[in-house]
Amino acid sequence: MKRIVAFGSFWWDFVVGDDWRAAAGVVVALGITALLVWAGVDAWWLMPAATAAILAISLARATATRQ
């Protein structure tokens, strides 16, 4: 059981890391992209734009708390 918990803990730390909001944003962006593609929209542009926006927000939040 320890190995299963360690494996799950590794993946949680790898995916979520220090900012759970960024991980949640990526999941939401993936969901919106999937819905748009399912509706027939050419949504290739959404993930790069969402990733850039999530990164900018995460960096702004990280640097604001350190000042």
Confidence of residue 65 (pLDDT cuts 50, 70, 90): low
Please check whether residue 58 is in contact with residue 51, taking contact to mean a CB–CB distance below 8 angstroms: no
Q: CA-CA distance, 1 to 16, in Å (whole number)? A: 22
Joined tokens for residue 42: 């050419």
Per-residue model confidence as pLDDT tens digits over 11-54? 888 888 878 899 999 999 999 999 999 999 999 999 999 999 99
User: Residue 21 has what pLDDT?
Assistant: 92
Q: The tokens of 44 are what? A: 């290739």
Mean pLDDT throughout 56-62?
A: 90
User: Which ranges constitute the DSSP H helices of 1-67?
Assistant: 2-15, 20-38, 46-66
pLDDT of residue 12: 86
67 has a pLDDT exceeding 60: no
CA-atom Rg of the chain in angstroms: 16
